[in-house]
Structures are given as C-alpha cells and as structure tokens.
Structure 1
Amino acid sequence: MKKLLTLFLMLFALMAGQQQKESAKADFNVAYEKFELDNGLDVVFHVDRSDPVVAVALTAHVGSAREKEGRTGFAHLFEHLLFLESENLGKGGLDKLSARVGGSGANGSTSRDRTNYFQTVPNDALEKMLWAEADKLGWFINTVTEPVLAKEKQVVKNEKRQSNDNRPYGHTSYVIDKNLYPADHPYNWQVIGSLEDLQAATLADVKEFFRKWYVPNNVTLVVSGDFDTEQAKEWVKKYFDEIPRGEEIEPLKPRPGVVAATKKLYHEDNFARLPELTYTWPTVEQYHPDSYALDVLTQYLASGKKAPFNQVLVQDKKLTASVQMYNRTSELAGQLQLSVRAYADTDLDIVAEAINEAFVRFENEGITEKDLARIKAGQETGFYNSLSSVLGKGFQLAQYNIFANDPGFIKKDIENILAVTTADVMRVYQKYIKDKNYIATSFVPKGQKSLALENSVQAQVVEEQIVQGAEETFDASIQASYERTSSSFDRTVEPPYGPAPQVQIPEVYETSLNNGLKVYGIENNEVPLVQINMVIDGGQLLEGMDKLGAANLMAALMTKGTKNKTPEELEEAIDQLGASIGVYAGKESIRISANTLARNYEATLALMEEILLEPRWDTTEFELAKQRTISQIRQQEANPNAIASNAYDILIYGKNDIRAQNRLGTIETVNNLTIEDLKTYYTSFVSPSVARFHVVGDISQQDLVASLKGLESRWKAKSVVLPELPKPSAPEKSQVYFFDVPDAKQSVLTIGYPSMPATDEDYYPAVVMNYILGGGGFASRLTQELREGKGYTYGIRSGFSGNKTDGTFTISSGVRTNVTLESTQLVKEILSNYGSTFSDKDLETTKGFLIKSNARAFETAGAKLNMLENISELGLPYDYVKEREEVVQGMTVEKIKELSQKYLNEDQMIWLVVGDAKTQLNRMKQLGFGEPILINNLSGPEKKPK
C-alpha cells in the first residue's frame, strides 16, 4: 500500500512548485472535499467527470491488529459477512443489486489495520449504493445467524487453504510473523486467522466485534467519480445520519517487532520444488521518516541489472533467477524482507554467503545520485497509472484520511519522498540491517532438510489433516428471525435510478503501414500517458515439438540488451524515462508492451524499435534465461493450479498438438535450445505482416502515425504462414481424470470441453447464457450453490474462451478436499438443470448487468486497449459493443434454454481433479462417469480421449 501511495503523490510535486523540463500538465489536479457527520462518519468526495461512473468505498479502521489472541480472523470474516445480507436488502441483496445496476461487483479487502468494501457503478446508481452501504453499518448484524456464520467459516477456511495451505511457500509469512512479533503483539497472527480460531468463533464473539469496530466514528466513506456533490451530501445524510455513534476508540501506538537474537528456522514444504531463503528485519511504521529511505534501499539492492543482489546472486554466482526485497510498512510496525528462491538442490548456506557478499559490495560502493534519480524516475508514470480509475483515487483518499488523519497529507508525504538522499539510504542500511538480528526461514522441498541453513530449527507450522465428513453441516438458507432495527423512514424501499448515463464509445482510428503493420488507436488525454500493445501472431504455435520454449526464451532475451546497448544500459535507458517495456510470448502470439509519459513517447518508441529490430543475443543472458525457465517449470510441477492448467490443455487437444504444450517448454527442450534456435525463430516469424499495433493515450492520430515512419521503413515484411490446426471436438462421453498431489488441502477442479471460436455466431450469445451459470460472480448459480449455499469453495467460475480458430468452455474451482465428490456432483446437477430452471428474473439480471455495465466498459486505458485488440484480432466493428448490446436486448428465456441444451451437456465433458488421490480418487467413481483415470504420468494421451 505504501508503494502505491508513493506513486500517488508524485504529481503533487508539480503542484507544490517542483518545476521539471517539459513537465506534465500543470492544471492536472485531484481535488477532494471532506466533511463529518454528527455521528463521526468521515466523508470524502472527489469529482471526476471523465466517465459516467462513480466508485463508493467504505473503509473501517479495523484489521487483524484489533483482534484478540485466540479470536483471530474476525476482521477478514466480516469482510465476507457484510456482503451476504442486511435487513433492508435481504439475503444476497448487495450482490444481486450490483448485478442489476451493472456494477463491478461488490468486493472488499482486509489488512492488518483496515477493512474496505468497494465497487464502481454507473452513476445513475449512486443513491442505491449509498442506501446499501448504510445498511452495512446500521441494519446488518441482526441478520447474522448460526447457520450463516457456520457457512462463512467454511468459505474463509477454503480461502486460507487456497491462499496459504495448498500452495508452495504458503506458510512463510506465518512463520516469520510468529517469530518477529511477541505473542501479545497484534501483528503476531495472520490477517486471515487460523482454522482453529475461525472454527471456535461464536455468534456472541462475532456480534461483540462488530458492535465495537463497525461504527460511524471508525469509518471513512469515499465517493469518487461523476456525480453532483450537493445531491450526494443529501443522500449521505439521509442514509447514514441516524446510525448511532459507537464507543470512542483509542488509537494504537507504534510498536516494532523484536528479534533479540537471530533466529534460523526451516520447514519442509509439501508443495515446494525449490529451496527458498527469506531474511526479515524489524523496521518502522508507515510515514515514519526512515520508511522513505528504506523503500529506496530495497529497490536499489534488488531491482534491476545494477542491483548488488542481482549482480552477485543472479549473474556472478548463478544461484537464483531473481531476488525479491521490499519494506512492508503498516500502522504499528514495519518489516524489511529479502527473499531468494534458489535453483534446485542449492544449499541455502551458499545463498547466505552470497547475500553477505552483496551487502559488502553495497557498503563499499553505496548508491550514486544517478541511481537515486533513476529509482525516482518511474514514480510519476506509476502515479498516473494508479489514477486510471475513480476507485483507485478513492482508495488513496481513504488511506490518507485514516492513517494520516488528513486526505491532504499529500504535501508532507511528497516532501519526505523528495528529501531522501544517498546518505539517508546508507544511514538506514546501517541502522536497520547491518549487523542487526533477523529472522531467517528456509523453506525446502520435502525430504531435503539438508538444504536449509545450518543450525536451523524446525518451524512450528500447523498442517490440516484431511478427514472425510469432519466439517459441520448447516443450512444457510434458513431465514433469520429478529426484531428489525428502527429507522425514521422505510428503508425497505430501494431508491430509484438517477438519469441514465450517456455512454460514449471511444473514437477508434485505423491505418496500415507499407510494411503491412496494422495500426489501431484511441486518443485519450485524461492523463499524460501513452500505452502501447503490439501483438505479433504466432507465439508457441510456430515452434517445432523439439524446440518447445523457443518463443518464450526469445521474448525473454529481447529486453536483455540491444546491438548497441548492454543489458544494463538498456534497462537504465528505459528507467530514466520512467517507462516500462516488456516482451512476452504466449500460446498464439508475442506481445510487446510499453507504458510511458506522453512527453517521453518518442524516446520510448525509439527504444521499442531498438529492442525489436536490433536484438543483442547476449549469451550470458541466454543461459540465465534458460535457468530461470527451468526453475519456473519445476515450480509448476508442484503447483496444483499450474498442474491443472497444463493437464487440461493436454486433455483438450492431445499430446501431439502444439496447443497442448506448456508455453515454457519442457526441461529437456529448454536445455537443448541454442541461441541459434532463437535467432531462427526471430528471422523466420517476427514480421509486421502478422502484427497489430494498438495505442491508447495522450497522442493524436497524426503524431502517432508520423512517429511510426522509422518502424515502417526499417522493419521489413516477410511471409509468415500460421499453421492451420484442426478444431478439437468434444468428448463423446464424460470421463473423470485425477492427478494425485499427496496431502493436498484442496482439490482443483477443471471441467469443460473444446467449444467454439470467438468468431462463431453463437459465441457471444453463449457468453450471455453463461452469465447466470458462472460468469456473473456472486450473481451466478455456481457461486450461490457451492460457496454461499454449501461453503465448499472460496470461488468458482465458468466461461467460454475463444480465438479465431477454436475455443473452450471451462468451469474451474478449488474446493475443500473432503467434499471433492460432493462438489462435482453439485456442478453436474446445476449443469443438468440450468436450462429448465432459468427464469424471467435471471434474464432480467443478465440484461441489467450486461447493458448497464457498458458505462464502465472504457474507463481505463487497459479497457480501451482490450477493445482495440478485439477489433483487430476478430475483425469486429468499432461499435461492436452496441451490436452485443442488441444481442442482449433480444435474448429470451427460450433462447437461453436452447443455448444451454446445445453447449452445456454434462455428459460430454472432461472432469479433471487435481488433489489427494489416497482419500478422493475412489470416491470419484460415484460421479457416474466410470472408473477415474490417474494421469500423473500423463504427457498427453496419444489421441484426445473420447
């Protein structure tokens, strides 16, 4: 959060009198208005009329730090509970309301120190959102019953399994915080809490927690976007004024972590395939004067080619692909962490020696003024990117109001950022890092304890046991019986819509260069940025089966120097512009993206050209890239989600199809690739004849086209023929496939079949049909049944995905291990009954969301780039959004039923489970699709299964 705030502040250097050559628009401003209700509610308004949308964010000054030992996870639990029901919206009311009005989907997040609830809606729904948010504070707690609490405990426990327990290195933060902070320190436990504490929570505990912390005088409401402030004030007072003030809350005082002596701990990680060493030092709380220099220190030490840790650990000693380092500041304390995920079978004591060597190098060389300027150069660009949505602006205002007690803290914060000197950076290193005690955690693969730091002791990690039928049962549909909370007016009446927003589709321009490069653009001067996305068709599709990973390695190498610039010189040239340039190879294309200040556009484009047309083919970087890629492949081998993705592709296409292959390649093919293989790919397939250039930002069409003259003349076209691959067909009958991950705490489900390309006339109608099934978040049946009804999962989704030639329909979720069968049975039942049970109300919700959400469709530069890519790839008209709107308007219940019958046949799908075979494999026979097939040795069936 602190880094985001740093970015947010840079513009105000301009407002505070900082003059820069060719500086950004001096009149660009983020203004706000703050007022307080009699009950203590802080309200902050920000007006932004660039799009007909408004963001509403309610932030409570309560996180895990306000919990009691033994009752952890409550703040995060409330993040969930507050979406479920309130007295006036009813069960699931907020999620249903969000869908009807075309909102982004009500969501929230919890940290150590705050919990927020937010969404963006078309501006005609502002009053509805204020009515709904007020219900959270004043008309909610009575609706929490024993069954509701029991169900949501399961949802949160599933989130913990998904985020921590069922993934590599997921227990690292738990081990660090338990040893960095004393037992009575509020940062000693994790934000998500423990499974035991969550299970032990009583209804009385929960209500006590809510009544203390979720009160107006502990909450900030931010409204940001296109709205009338006087009208909004009336609505805020109407809906929030009569909520009673809570007890006065004493602020907590800063309290740093304590490491009396260096601690070395190890854990044998069931999901890790590489050893990882993490050092943690206690530092200072947010906004402390030293926190700014610590931010610079961590970035200088670990980020980029010049970073001491990169030079020693990555380049010289070749121990790792990268080093991560950051200073995490919270309200009460801070912690600086250094993390090295080493290559396979690397002794972490060798890594520790290299870390010490990198620190010594820094002590001897320090940081130069030029490096300090380079680190700060990207902040202005980052700031503008953070302002690409009204919600982002709202988050920043709330953060300052709560933790600095002033939304206008901006001036002091920017002064602190700009005041950092090279001497400060060395000073904080000496004060907090050099010769100071720290926590060292060694997370090593199971059975490789010998790789841990010498003299490490085993960390205390709580591992959940898989017990069939262990979870309690409940019926979350039971209606609560309670005495309604009084109000001065009838709050059960939903407020009306305001005037309908006027949605303006961005004006698109298109041209072609003489070399065949197609150019698509949208001029947008809301912020002084230009964003570029160039797509070169081909990617992995053009690789040979014995050269898998060539496109990925070539893309990785393109940003590692040019003909006339070393890797370090190229990186520095990009950084000095405050720009970013990336090259990425996917299954079907290679993408080159850039993000830069408008005033630096031409210089950034020149570097893009140099990267594209004058690759360096650096042999040292090539070997490093190969090591990096092999490490990624090894990590995927133990990540249940990556396993599921890779196995699903094989089951869809068959092992002999290039589309079934991992885009990274295999360990064997990557080891065998030579730099000549990359050059061959480059000279054969990187051509403007199969490329599309998309640009959104503060540059006119005339200037943009003129800027491409060099690329037009220098980049010569060649004939590139994309392979014509057969369209895979759906299985004739369903089959269960099982990939065993011993002791997995969740089962990853991937269910689906090869479907239609995005160009098929049924494609978008099928997308519409899927909205209520699994495309509508909390409005979808899969979520309502498996998460809200049963507590089996943290999240589940379904959707159609397609390109010009083929596509898939996929349902995906991570479910509690001991309900793997029950979850798939419920999915099967939902699919079977979907068409026959689809109602007029479902159609109304679908139409409401898909039409009204168009007000948000073009808010950010990223959304506009996505629009251009759809137009260029699929040959869609510029106003295809309007065409799709007509499809939605013309949809009927009968059409939905027809489409579901055609495209949702549960008896002709792949049912893939990645989980614990010893407890779940045999149970899957009961799904009714025959004997499950164990596929751990699957490199792909010779032919796609029928």
Structure 2
Amino acid sequence: MKKKLLVAAVLGAMGTAASVFPVLAHAAEDKAMAAKPNAASAKASLKIEYQKFTLPNGLDVIFHIDRSDPVVAVNLTAHVGSAREKAGRTGFAHLFEHLLFLESENLGKGGLDKMTARIGGSGANGSTSQDRTNYLQTVPKDALEKMIWAEADKLGWFINTVTDQVLAKEKQVVKNEKRQSVDNNPYGHTSYVIDKAMYPADHPYNWQVIGSLEDLQNATVDDVKEFFRRWYVPNNVTLVLAGDFDPVQAKKWVEKYFGEIKRGEEIPSLPKRAGFVKETVKFYHEDNFARVPALTMAWPAVEQLHPDSYALEVLAEYLSRGKKAPFNQVLVEDKKLTSNVSIGSQNSELAGQFMLSVRAFDGKSLDDVAVAVNEAFAKFEKEGISEKDLNRIKAGQETQFYNSLSSVLGKSSQLAEYNYLNGNPAYIEQDIKNVLAVTPADVMRVYQKYIKDKNFVATSFVPKGKLNLALTGSTKAEVVEEKIVQGAEDAVDPNINATYTKTPSKIDRSKEPAYGAAADVKVPAVWESKLANGMRVYGIENKEVPLMQFEIVVGGGLLLEDINKVGVSNLMARLMTKGTAKKTPQELEEAMQQLGASINVSARTEDVRISVNTLARNYQATLALVEEMLLQPRWDEKEFALMKQSVLSQIRQQEANPNAVAGAQFSKLMYGQNNIRSRNQLGTAETINAISLDDLKAYYSKNMAASVARMHVVGAVPKAEVTASLQRLAKQWQAGKVVLPAPAAAPSVIGGKVYFYDIPDAKQSVLRIGYPALAVTDKDYYPASVMNYILGGGGFASRLTQELREGKGYTYGINSGFSGSKSAGAFTIGSGVRSNVTLESTQLVKKILQDFATTYTKDDLATTQSFMIKSNARAFETAGAKLGMLDNISEYGWKPNYVKDREQIVKTMTVEKIKSLAQTYFDPSRMVWLVVGDAKTQLPRMKELGFGEPILLNAETK
C-alpha cells in the first residue's frame, strides 16, 4: 500500500540492495514509492513547473524541465494494479509488469532491458501497487528519442510476442519473487492475513499485489491478452518526461510514436470503499522463520487524499516516533517489551489502514504487549498532542520535500501519481497545505473516529512451537505454504520465437532511433581543506536545492575492536544519538527535529560514520549539534541497557533469516574464525552480554580521534562558510594517536568445496559463491569490474541473469561483483533460487564461469563500453552520488576526475584482456560454494556439483 503523500517517491527505489544479490527490476508493490513529501514552512518552494497535454487517443503527457544534469527520467504509469484483477487471476498486474520488459515487436528479444545496457540507463525498472503499475528509468539525454520509441512499442506493439513458453518462464520468476519476499521471509504472510480479514472477498484489496502461486500458475496467454487489451490503452496511461530536453522536439516524438495507438474502451473509476471489520478478530501463525513473536493490529481507515488522512499521518507519527512518543514510553522504556513500535497510516486509492506492529523481545507474551498497547493509547487520550509537538512533527517536512526534488525520477513519479489520482499533477501544493493545516483537535478527532473502541484485525506471528506467546483467543490463520517437490515445474524454453502477423504502423518502427547530441558530462568541482587537528575536508557546492548533506568518517570501526568482545563500536555509535552531556535523549531528539535535521551514527567494518541531512539555512545549528554529540557523549546507563536489549533481539532475529545467515556464514568462510572481518558487526549474544559501558567509553577515548577522520560536504553552502564553521571543532576535537590496521591481503581459503547451512523447510536456497580476491587499490580491480559487467554486474545484460532468470526461471535476482577497500575483499556471486533447483542452479553458475573466457565476444565488450561510458551522464545527479565521489577521493587519494581515468580504462579494454582476467579471477575451483536452505531435500544432491561431499555447517543442531 502507498501512503497518501507522494512527492518523495522513488528516491531509493532504484538503489542496489544491501545484500549481495539485488532485487532486480520488475518488483511487486514498492513501499519506497510511498514515501511522504514534506514541507513545513512558507519558505518552501512548493511549485514544480510542468506542461501537460493529452493526445487525441487519451494519453496524458507531462513535461518537466530540469537542466541540472544531462539526463531525463522517463515514467510510463498505467492506472491498473491488483485492484483491477479478477478473483482467481490475482497477481496479473504484477505479472504484466514483468512481461512488458521482455520483448516487443520492434525492440526484439530482451526488450527494454537489453537496450538499457547499451544506452547507459539506470536500469529499466518498475513497480506494481494495488492501484497502478509504472515503468521508469533515467537515461542520458541523448537517448531520449530511443526511450520514447521503446515505451510506445511496449504499449502498442507488444502483446503478440507473449507465447506460452515466455509466460511459463516468467511465472517462475514471479513465483521466485514471492518466495523471496514473502514465503522465505520472517513475518512475510502478515499482510495476506490482515487483508483477507479487513476486506470482503469481492473487495479489490482482498488479495495481495503479488497474487497467489496457484493463480499465477493457472494464468493463460488468453488471460494475459485480455488483461492487456482492457487496461494497457492510451486513455489509461500517463507519460512523464522530467529532465534536460527540448520540449518542442519531445512533443513531436511523443506524437510520432504514440499518436497512432488506438484509444481503448472508457474506464470508469472504481468507487472508494473502506475496509470493514464486523467484530475484532485475532489470528495466529507459527512462522518458520520467526525467532521473536510479532503482534500486528490494523484498523480500517481512509483512502489517499481523504481530508482525514493528514491527521491520521500525524497521529501515527506522534504515537510511535521518538522518545516522547506514548508507545515508546510505555512499551520500550517502561515495560521493556520491545525496542521499537511501528505505526503507520497506509492509504491507497480506494481504502486505507491504520497499522501498528510490534516485534517483541524473545519469550515475551503478546498478551502483555496488547495490555501495554491499551495503556499507551490511554496515555495519549489523557495527554493529547500539543501545538509544540505538532509543529515538531511538521518541522522535518521541508527537508524531506527538497530531498524529493533532488532526483528527476522522484519528480516524474510525483507528477504521474497525482495525475492518475485526480488529474492534477500540481496537487502537491494543496496536499502540503492540507498537511500544514492539521490541528491538535484534528489528531484527537481522527483517533476517536477510527481507532478508539473500534474493531480491528490482530495477528500473532510466533516462532514454531511457541503458540503460548500468541494473543489469547486467536484462531489459526489460513496461510498457504508451498511444499518442496523435486521436478514440480516443467522445463521452459523462452527462446522459441512467436509466430504472428506484425501489428501495422504508419511509420517504420523496425529501426531504433539514432542518438541525439552527446551529453556533456561535467565532473563536479571539488574543494579541499585540512583542519588544524588533522581532519581532512572535501566539498562540492551544489545549489540545486537548499539542502546540506555531510558526513564525518572516523577510521576504525570493527577493525579496532577486541575480537573476543565484538559489538562495542556498534553500540557506541548507536548510543551517541541518545543524548549528550548537556541534553537528555529527548532534548537532543527534539533539537534535531526543530531544525528539520537527521543525524545518524553508524559503525561499519572499517569506520564509524556520522551522516547528516539538513536545510542549508540550518547548517551551522545542525553542525553545533553534531559537535556536541561527537565531543560530549552522554553515556546514559538507561539508554545503554535498552540498546543492548535491542541488539540482542536483532541478533536473535537474524538467526533464521536466510539472507542474514548466508551473509554471516560466507564471511566466516572468507576470512576464518580468527580474523575479525569474519565477525558479525552486531556481535553475538555472549559478547553483547559481556560488554559494559566502560568498554564503550574506552573505545571512544582511544579511537575516536580527528587524526583518522575525514569529512565530506555537499550542498548549498560555499567553501568559505563551511571551513569557517569548522574552526571550533578543529580546536576542541583532539588529533589523538590512533594506529589503523595496515591493509590486508586476501586470506587463503580452500576452494572447490560446498558448504550447506540448514534452515528446515526453506522455500528458497540462498547461494553465496566466491573467494577472497582484490583490493580497490589493486591495478586489476577496476578492469576486473569492467569484465564482471557481462558476468553478473550488468543486471539484465549479464549472463547470470539471462541464463538463470530469463532462460530458466530459477531465480528472481542474481548478481556478482568484486568488493574491497584498501584491503582485499571478496568476489561474490549471490542469489536466492527455487529450492528444488538448488543443484541445477549451481551447476549452471559453474558452467557459466568455466565458459566465460572462451565465449566472451566483441559484442559483449561493445555493450560494456557503451553502458559504462554513457552512464556517467547520471553519475553525479544526486547528493548521495556526490558524497560517494568525495568518499573515494578522500579514502584512496584519487583525483577528482577519476571517473575520466576510468573511462580511458574502459575505452582501451580489449577482448583479449577480458579473457586473460577471466582466466585469472573466474576459476570455479578456487571458490567456496555456500548454500543456505532445506538440507533434508537439497543437501544430498549437492555432491553432484563435483566438489566432493558437502559440509553441513550447523551439523551440531541435528
């Protein structure tokens, strides 16, 4: 579901996943698309200039000009999501999202995904919600005509290419996505249980966006064609172009390529229809992947843009966010039942929910949690919300609003979303006025109207064998869980060409349009400075939006910890945000919020980072808070105890999460038990229990020194002001004598072995394949990364994706890559595959690696060169990208134009050089092969991979 305010959409939607394998394009409902835009003062510029016109066939077209970078976001949004599906054919809208990337009559096999690899696009992507499906990417501006041609081909020249084989394969991909995001994920079935109880069987929100495995399997080509012809028509679609382009020429292209597509039948609006809970209902589910009990409570609420939705948003945030929040005070601090309570008002086009979620600490009864929930509500009823608190909640909204404008993709999504909701792309202006008009009386009114004494749906998801922790009076939830059956799916061959009569056109669409004038890529100007205490400062002045983003990076992190007491740096970093010597945790939090600032501190393997986002006009006040946090920690005993309990719960939850298990076990295999790099940054239950506040103080006093610090600054404040503002910090923060570990070479591992970690009844097997390889500073590192583009670094251009996902339907996503710093990191291939093809997947990966050097072609090199050079047009679009650039410069001593040096490496690469690198770095017999999955069905088969008997890592638990 999407929250009601939309301007901040998509900022992170195209980012790489945190784990080694990505969520590839074509995702089901994307909650990141629901991020809420914000503006809290009259100083915010709420207007986004745009042009809108409608073609005779009904296609709405919106242009927004932004010349800050030589790129254009192209967003095609169809007003069709799962709410338009038929019972028994659920998941169609999302299945369709996948199909539209595969092929069309004139793009040919590989469709838009294949073209993206050549033109340097951000990776063609899409998402499906209950209400809409969108297709979007950012491309260099010289490829704009190509994109308009391609999007028109999908809309008007696509459906004939869908064959039984193509459909059969894509069903497997979508089912793998469901296994990855729902079936193999802790608490993954929660929304399914709630929505079935919240909405009657004939309500369009009764089923999940991703659908059911059974419905997906039953889909036929005729079903697909019927769906396409009903919903994928110009009069149900919005096309948005946002970026650096000529609107006069772009309009001609749109008319040329889209104009002759026929209008479809008129599509009536669906009526608003709230959910209904006749009486409070409670369900329980024993979750195979849960390690702590979770309570979720949901009340029927209102749809997007409803007048009451704004106050419900404020209510949700006030109840749960921050030290002063009633739920934090009762459940976290007083009762110590959990480390966090999540409350949100989730609003979609037709209906909404007010949802509360608590993952309790291990062994805590959810009955006790429910009692505490009632106490927290009672506390709110008694105290209400003050004007000051209301303003505090609104204070950060201007910052978030400007963040949403830092990406042309974000702007395009906002314009499209408001257009399909009410036909007015500029509704953001009224939407924000509605947010700012909320009063304390409004917040209490919506609480009384929708929450107090109202019926709700409650779910208790508890670990296997822990039914005693579920809410009293709960009945068993009807959750369909897939059985692992060997050979259950038929083999598919999506390469079979469809035979059909081509759809006629008034123009020759068979030829891809030529590139426009080459984009002029300008490397941002970088300034440098060094403070008296030794801290190096690197900056980029950027006036596109009135924001400042900066980070202070202190070398050390996990590497400076005692290997027998891991977890100290993580606890210290988290505790630094919980008050200062002068401010209580609540006072510090409120000081940040009043500035509209976010300040986060995190510990990583090689450093501790303070990351800041604030309005440019509040930069100096925000910096003063950072100085106070850095130089005058509070060392609060109560917060330390809460933090330890929170980390222990997090460690416990990781134990049955297949992806977390795979990451932890792979690190151990890469580095060995005696290398601190093999350890979980969080620590273990034993080490956390042994850590004292004195340990944190000792780490801080010994290692948090300016001499090993560097600072990166991006935003609308000039160098002179930044350097002047840092003089106080230069005087107060001492240099210190910290010795960082010397860069480490790759440790030796015994390759050619299969390791298996058993998670009984896992619906997917998580694969991690690799070995310790290269440091970023190694001369082969970037050339090897260029080579890896075609293996697994290029998304849909890569062989791993083409063969395991597109060719076989074994996986939803797979990738490969080299990691590293000044020390050597691992080369890793990562994926989640259908359990019953675990062996077949690893055999195919092995073959791809073995054959890579001999099968690499000139066309592969041309695709790689085109993408890596052209994609530089969007290399510096966002503040995050600029911060990453400064990080590389400060850490490795690279020149500011290092991207141009890399271009030369790409341009001079040869097929022979790639083959030589592949023979050196892609040897499967050097690699460790790790499988995390269901041992009883998959372990015995893995000896057929040819690397001997697999080694069961958690044999002691059998």
Q: TM-score, normalised by structure 1?
A: 0.97
Q: Secondary structure at the match of 2:414?
A: helix
Counterpart position of 1:888: 906
> Quick one: percent identity of the two aligned structures?
68
Counterpart position of 2:32: none
Structure 1 residues 49-90: Cα deviation after superposition (integer angstroms, max 9, x where no partner): 000000100000000000001000000001100000000000
In 1, the alpha carbon distance for the partners of 2:818 and 2:338 equals 38
Contact 1:562 / 1:611 at 8 angstroms: preserved in 2? Answer: yes
In 2, the alpha carbon distance for the partners of 1:170 and 1:501 equals 44
Task: Give the aligned residue type for 1:348.
Answer: L
Structure 1 residues 180-199: Cα deviation after superposition (integer angstroms, max 9, x where no partner): 00011010000000000000
1:251 to 262, 265, 269: 269
Tell whether 2:421 aligns with 1:403: yes
Counterpart position of 1:35: 53
Task: Give the aligned residue type for 1:31.
Answer: E
1:712 to 710, 725, 730: 730
Counterpart position of 1:604: 622
Q: Secondary structure at the match of 1:220?
A: strand
Tell whether 2:539 aligns with 1:528: no
Q: How far apart are 1:30 and its partner, in Å?
A: 1.8
Contact 1:6 / 1:417 at 8 angstroms: preserved in 2? Answer: no
Q: Secondary structure at the match of 2:211?
A: coil
In 1, the alpha carbon distance for the partners of 2:583 and 2:650 equals 28
Counterpart position of 1:119: 137
Structure 1 residues 483-530: Cα deviation after superposition (integer angstroms, max 9, x where no partner): 100000110111011100100000011111111101000000000000
2:462 to 444, 450, 454: 444
Task: Give the aligned residue type for 1:573.
Answer: A
In 1, the alpha carbon distance for the partners of 2:744 and 2:627 equals 35
Q: Secondary structure at the match of 2:305?
A: coil
Q: How far apart are 1:307 and its partner, in Å?
A: 0.3
Contact 2:750 / 2:928 at 8 angstroms: preserved in 1? Answer: no
Contact 1:276 / 1:339 at 8 angstroms: preserved in 2? Answer: yes
Structure 1 residues 792-812: Cα deviation after superposition (integer angstroms, max 9, x where no partner): 000000000110021110000
In 1, the alpha carbon distance for the partners of 2:431 and 2:530 equals 47
Structure 1 residues 268-326: Cα deviation after superposition (integer angstroms, max 9, x where no partner): 00000000000000001100000000000000000000000000000011000000000
Contact 2:4 / 2:348 at 8 angstroms: preserved in 1? Answer: no
Q: How far apart are 1:411 and its partner, in Å?
A: 3.2
2:644 to 626, 629, 643: 626
Counterpart position of 2:560: 542
Q: Secondary structure at the match of 2:68?
A: coil
Contact 1:7 / 1:379 at 8 angstroms: preserved in 2? Answer: no
Counterpart position of 1:847: 865
Counterpart position of 1:98: 116
Tell whether 2:865 aligns with 1:864: no
Counterpart position of 2:931: 913
Counterpart position of 2:684: 666
Q: Secondary structure at the match of 1:253?
A: coil
In 1, the alpha carbon distance for the partners of 2:300 and 2:945 equals 52
Contact 2:291 / 2:362 at 8 angstroms: preserved in 1? Answer: yes
Structure 1 unmatched ranges of 5 or more: 940-946
TM-aligned CA distance change 1:409 to 1:3, over 3 Å: closer
Tell whether 2:349 aligns with 1:331: yes
Q: How far apart are 1:412 and its partner, in Å?
A: 2.5
In 2, the alpha carbon distance for the partners of 1:435 and 1:759 equals 62
TM-aligned CA distance change 1:857 to 1:898, over 3 Å: same
Counterpart position of 1:5: 6
Counterpart position of 1:644: 662
Contact 2:755 / 2:950 at 8 angstroms: preserved in 1? Answer: yes
In 2, the alpha carbon distance for the partners of 1:894 and 1:268 equals 55
Counterpart position of 1:343: 361
Counterpart position of 1:690: 708
Contact 1:271 / 1:639 at 8 angstroms: preserved in 2? Answer: yes
1:204 to 212, 216, 222: 222
Tell whether 2:150 aligns with 1:150: no
Task: Give the aligned residue type for 1:695.
Answer: V
Task: Give the aligned residue type for 1:864.
Answer: K
2:290 to 272, 290, 293: 272
Q: Secondary structure at the match of 2:522?
A: coil
Task: Give the aligned residue type for 1:856.
Answer: R
Q: Secondary structure at the match of 2:350?
A: coil
TM-aligned CA distance change 1:541 to 1:10, over 3 Å: closer
Structure 1 residues 210-238: Cα deviation after superposition (integer angstroms, max 9, x where no partner): 10000000000000000000000000000
Alignment of 1:469-548 (within 5 A): 469-548=487-566
Alignment of 1:297-446 (within 5 A): 297-446=315-464
Q: Secondary structure at the match of 2:924?
A: coil
Counterpart position of 2:779: 761
Contact 2:744 / 2:822 at 8 angstroms: preserved in 1? Answer: no
Counterpart position of 2:99: 81
Task: Give the aligned residue type for 1:637.
Answer: E
Equivalenced residues, count: 931
Contact 2:112 / 2:124 at 8 angstroms: preserved in 1? Answer: yes
Q: Secondary structure at the match of 1:630?
A: helix
In 1, the alpha carbon distance for the partners of 2:693 and 2:428 equals 50
Contact 1:643 / 1:914 at 8 angstroms: preserved in 2? Answer: yes
Contact 2:187 / 2:461 at 8 angstroms: preserved in 1? Answer: yes
Tell whether 2:694 aligns with 1:676: yes
Contact 2:8 / 2:405 at 8 angstroms: preserved in 1? Answer: no
Q: How far apart are 1:93 and its partner, in Å?
A: 2.6
In 2, the alpha carbon distance for the partners of 1:6 and 1:750 equals 37
Counterpart position of 1:242: 260
Aligned structure 1 segments of 4 or more residues deviating by more than 3 angstroms? 1-4, 6-14, 728-733
Task: Give the aligned residue type for 1:5.
Answer: L
> CA RMSD for the aligned pairs?
1.4
Structure 1 residues 653-703: Cα deviation after superposition (integer angstroms, max 9, x where no partner): 001110000000000110111000000000000001111100000010111
In 2, the alpha carbon distance for the partners of 1:606 and 1:498 equals 48
TM-aligned CA distance change 1:98 to 1:670, over 3 Å: same
Task: Give the aligned residue type for 1:868.
Answer: L
Counterpart position of 1:942: none
In 1, the alpha carbon distance for the partners of 2:309 and 2:5 equals 14
Contact 2:7 / 2:404 at 8 angstroms: preserved in 1? Answer: no
Counterpart position of 1:943: none
In 2, the alpha carbon distance for the partners of 1:807 and 1:12 equals 40
In 2, the alpha carbon distance for the partners of 1:697 and 1:477 equals 49
Structure 1 residues 421-457: Cα deviation after superposition (integer angstroms, max 9, x where no partner): 0000000000000000000100000000000000100
In 2, the alpha carbon distance for the partners of 1:500 and 1:281 equals 53
Tell whether 2:772 aligns with 1:771: no
Task: Give the aligned residue type for 2:615.
Answer: L
In 1, the alpha carbon distance for the partners of 2:165 and 2:528 equals 57
Q: How far apart are 1:408 and its partner, in Å?
A: 2.0
Q: How far apart are 1:94 and its partner, in Å?
A: 1.1
Q: How far apart are 1:4 and its partner, in Å?
A: 4.8
Counterpart position of 1:815: 833
Task: Give the aligned residue type for 1:178.
Answer: K
Task: Give the aligned residue type for 1:144.
Answer: V
Counterpart position of 2:602: 584
TM-aligned CA distance change 1:664 to 1:804, over 3 Å: same
In 2, the alpha carbon distance for the partners of 1:273 and 1:418 equals 41
Q: TM-score, normalised by structure 2?
A: 0.96
Q: Secondary structure at the match of 2:564?
A: helix
Q: Secondary structure at the match of 2:589?
A: helix
Q: How far apart are 1:410 and its partner, in Å?
A: 2.6
In 2, the alpha carbon distance for the partners of 1:859 and 1:177 equals 39
Contact 2:83 / 2:130 at 8 angstroms: preserved in 1? Answer: yes
Counterpart position of 1:167: 185
Counterpart position of 2:62: 44
